Chain A
Amino acid sequence: MTRRSLIQTAAFGFGALPAWLTRAAAQAPNGKKKTLVAIFQRGAMDGLNVLIPHGDKRYTALRPSLAIPRESALDLDGFFSLHPSLKPLYPLWQSKQLAAIQATGSPDPTRSHFDAQDFMESGTPGRKATRDGWLNRAIPAAQTPSPVRALSMGGTLARSLRGPAPAVAVNTLAGFQVRDNAQKDFMSMYAQSPDATLKSTGKDTFEAIRLLDSINKNKPASTATYPASRLGQSLAQIATVIKAGAGLEYAFADTTGWDTHTGQPARLEQLLTDLAQSLAAFHKDLGEQANDVTIVTMSEFGRTAKENGTRGTDHGHANVMFTLGSAIPGGKVHGTWPGLEQEQLYQQRDLAVTTDFRDVLATAIRHHNPATDLAKVFPDYRFRPIA
């Protein structure tokens, strides 16, 4: 469906055109908006078995039963390799769209999932009382923004997107509906209400409902095959909204289960297969529009350099982040390798952090919107761009 046909559908289906849509149509005739997609891998991914430092001779020694053999991994630059399950992403590495940033992490030393996720999502390491999230603070004010300018996939609004800028939490596009045919009644009730605050929320809500409904009903068949997983389905729906040219600029999705204390090999294989297939499908699905989309992945911390006694790894420190798109030059591993020798490890057990995770996020935001006020997004932080 073209943008024009979406606008027509919206207009014929529901009467007057929402103000944001007319405005967006007038200002962006090709309907293109840049979109930043943040993906959170909850549970702490074992970065050392994802972006594998085969060039460091300590790697195999630290992980007698978990080390990925060099010959089965995907060579990146002679030093690093990718886990074999990330094969669907390898073409994107070769076409220089996928970038890896090694040894990233937080200046805060916590090994608590809860604290570390919270710090990463609030964007304020060490500070627990921050109410809003970094991604919400990155959203600039707008006169009549699209009702789906910021989308959080899942039942609740993600911590990263919480804050004063409007953001919508959506489980499924199809499920974002008023039940029992009561929509029209509620719509007229809220439209007429003397309660200014709720009238305005009602307006946003019904605009989002109508828009998502229209997008969902008119979506063209996708050529990409997504996994049936939480991440796959989240990305499929984000792609649908992007392709409809509905003004989506900030999106958040997450994937869980990365806390591999036991039986890691099979679990990591499954998780990485899902990640790779989901991202590859997303990229294929977007077609040319992929050029306007930046994806950044993160996980709260890495895992111990040494394997534990239960074929797994425990909570560690630095990890790897990936970007897909043109924010950070692809086909390259960025950052500095801290080394795996005992004295090089953080607290003698974990990969040390050499790049602040905010450097990656800030680079992605600045690429997405060069006017972003980084002091607002990441207070008390000095920007060191990744290039």
Chain B
Amino acid sequence: MLRQFLALLLSLSLFPAAPTKLNKDQRALHAASRLTFGPTVTDLAAIHKLGVDKWIEQQLHPETIPENPALLERLKTFETLQLSNKDLIAQYPRKAGKGAKNVQTVYRELAEAKLLRAVHSTHQLEELMADFWYNHFNVFFDKGADRLLVTSYERDAIRPHVLGNFKNLLLATTKHPAMLFYLDNWTSVSAENLDNLRDRFQRKKAAAKKKRAAGLNENYARELLELHTLGVDNGYTQTDVTEVARCFTGWTIDGLRDDPKFLFRPLMHDRKAKTVLGQAFLPGRGEEDGLQVIDMLVRHPATAKFISTKLAQRFVADTPPPALITKMAATFTKTQGDIREVMRTMLKSPEFWAASTYNAKVKMPFEMVASALRATNATVTNSAAIQQEFRAQGQPLYRKGEPTGYSPMAEEWTNSAALLSRMNFGLALVQNKVRGTRIDLTQTLANKTKPTEIAQALLLRAPAPETLRAIESKSETNPAQIAGLVLGSPEFQRR
């Protein structure tokens, strides 16, 4: 009884359950937790030196922050990253032949570069945004030709726009061969013959349907509306999907086998009149049909709301407050899709800084592993074992089959097998048992050995007293074991 009372007292005094406002240290940690791949001592020092507002402003303008030179040197050794689609296909044929380079290199370098950037880049927010937008406009690496197109897709279509204008970003993805291939738009052709058929045999729906399958392909149109812009069931109908698909007929790939490029092929295009979201499109047009759809979608209030909601779900809370979404969506509309401004609105909002959001997000596997590597100041010389870890935890990089991308919601990542993998990863990491990765724990912990100090050094905050008690009650006091327990603790799974 007395012990319970003391514990209660302790938790009340040192760990207020729901403080109404974050204090200065908490604000610094909150900013670092949400706007980096895991807070480090260096991040906190920078925030304290600059002030949190100025630090955020810097992160919103990554071009003003010098990039980590060691990272740049390392990335230079990855030869596939800078190759064009054409050169990649020429040098890394999918079927091995004489003198051909190993096609596995393409994935290895792509995935390792993503991990290294997340861990070592000084442009942390930019890296988070690159991850966010790739995931939003997801392409599955393993779908046939996409194995050699994703490198350029991320580099040329996603990265230049991560804090730029949404319309430019959207259009870059629409036209990239990786997306055209992934969602089949490159095969979608005019259904004019079908229209003739339909006019003549109005009742023979089955025949019309069969014909449509071979001509018009609605995959891209559907995901464009449902996943990329308006959001599911947000003010469009199945007819709109079909009409949008007709607008994008002819948006195809030229030279898929040797030099894939976007091409508008007028012969494939449906030139008849269309009606999209209630708006009439005149007959006889070409590429401008698709361009007008993009323009309409970017201006649509549902898009402003949907994009704001997705950003807030990743950066603020699984269920973001409606008031926050309203503000962000207003900025989106006012600035015609300026992503940096939408982010700024979010980061200046009281909702972002509400005490209820502090450490409230469960890390996605990529975030969990990257944050562990950052917290332990790890050196990764070969990321194969870590890529395997992403697979085990359910988030293999670039390998989400569905166009939905990975969910940022806690429910997706709190399952038995994934939690077990997280615990085992932490334990392996601190004992230098993850192949290709090295840490110097003594240095990271600055010779600290007490459980409470080790927890503080890795979490950069005090764990819940219950967690601390569990660690302290351990008979063995090897710092590595304690560090492993901290990385596997409930606290470390959140940000």
Whether B227 lies near A129 (C-beta < 8 A) is yes
29 interchain pairs, CB-CB under 8 A: A114-B140, A114-B142, A128-B183, A128-B219, A128-B402, A129-B402, A156-B391, A157-B415, A166-B416, A167-B415, A176-B417, A180-B481, A182-B485, A182-B488, A188-B473, A189-B466, A189-B467, A189-B470, A192-B466, A192-B469, A195-B464, A195-B491, A197-B362, A197-B410, A197-B414, A198-B414, A201-B416, A205-B419, A205-B420
Which residues of chain B are within 8 angstroms of A164 by Cβ–Cβ distance?
411
Whether B415 lies near A201 (C-beta < 8 A) is yes
Which residues of chain B are within 8 angstroms of A159 by Cβ–Cβ distance?
401
Which residues of chain B are within 8 angstroms of A92 by Cβ–Cβ distance?
none
Could you mark each residue 475-495 of chain B with 1 if its beta carbon is under 8 Å from any beta carbon of chain A, else 0?
A: 000000100110011110110
Which residues of chain B are within 8 angstroms of A129 by Cβ–Cβ distance?
222-223, 226-227, 232, 402-404
Other CB < 8 Å A-B pairs besides A156-B396, A168-B416, A197-B362, 14 of them?
Answer: A114-B140, A114-B401, A128-B219, A128-B223, A129-B226, A155-B392, A156-B394, A178-B423, A186-B485, A189-B467, A189-B489, A194-B466, A195-B494, A199-B490
**Interface of A with B (CB < 8 Å)?**
109, 112, 114, 118, 128-131, 147, 155-157, 159, 164, 166-170, 176, 178-180, 182, 185-186, 188-190, 192-195, 197-199, 201-202, 204-205, 208-209, 347
Select A157's contact among B417, B419, B467, B469, beta carbons within 8 Å: B417
Does B431 interact with chain A (Cβ within 8 Å)?
yes
Whether B391 lies near A195 (C-beta < 8 A) is no
Whether A170 lies near B414 (C-beta < 8 A) is no
Whether B470 lies near A188 (C-beta < 8 A) is yes
Whether A194 lies near B464 (C-beta < 8 A) is yes
Whether A168 lies near B489 (C-beta < 8 A) is no
The 5 closest A-B pairs by CB, nearest first: A189-B470, A192-B466, A198-B490, A169-B417, A205-B416
Which residues of chain B are within 8 angstroms of A176 by Cβ–Cβ distance?
417, 420
Whether B402 lies near A131 (C-beta < 8 A) is yes
Which residues of chain A are within 8 angstroms of B162 by Cβ–Cβ distance?
none
What is the chain B residue whose CB lies nearest that of A198? B490
Whether B464 lies near A179 (C-beta < 8 A) is no
Segment 109-165 of B: residues with Cβ below 8 Å from A? 140, 142-144
Measured between C-beta atoms, what is the minimum distance from B115 to chain A in Å? 19
Measured between C-beta atoms, what is the minimum distance from A234 to chain B in Å? 15
Whether B391 lies near A190 (C-beta < 8 A) is no
**Interface of B with A (CB < 8 Å)?**
140, 142-144, 183, 213-214, 219, 222-223, 226-227, 232, 362, 391-392, 394, 396, 401-404, 407, 410-411, 414-417, 419-420, 423-424, 427-428, 431, 464, 466-467, 469-471, 473-474, 481, 484-485, 488-491, 493-494
Which residues of chain A are within 8 angstroms of B470 by Cβ–Cβ distance?
185, 188-189, 192
Measured between C-beta atoms, what is the minimum distance from A219 to chain B in Å? 20
Measured between C-beta atoms, what is the minimum distance from B247 to chain A in Å? 19
Which residues of chain A are within 8 angstroms of B416 by Cβ–Cβ distance?
147, 166, 168, 201, 204-205, 208
Measured between C-beta atoms, what is the minimum distance from A139 to chain B in Å? 14
Which residues of chain B are within 8 angstroms of A178 by Cβ–Cβ distance?
420, 423-424, 427
Bound Cα distance A118, B404 (Å): 13
Whether B474 lies near A155 (C-beta < 8 A) is no
Q: Which of A114, A186, A198 neighbours the largest number of chain B CB atoms within 10 Å of its CB? A: A186
Bound Cα distance A170, B414 (Å): 15
Bound Cα distance A180, B485 (Å): 11
Bound Cα distance A180, B403 (Å): 38
Which residues of chain B are within 8 angstroms of A109 by Cβ–Cβ distance?
213-214
Q: Which of B362, B392, B415 neighbours the largest number of chain A CB atoms within 10 Å of its CB? A: B415
Measured between C-beta atoms, what is the minimum distance from B399 to chain A in Å? 10
Which residues of chain A are within 8 angstroms of B481 by Cβ–Cβ distance?
180, 182
Which residues of chain A are within 8 angstroms of B410 by Cβ–Cβ distance?
197
What is the chain B residue whose CB lies nearest that of A118? B401
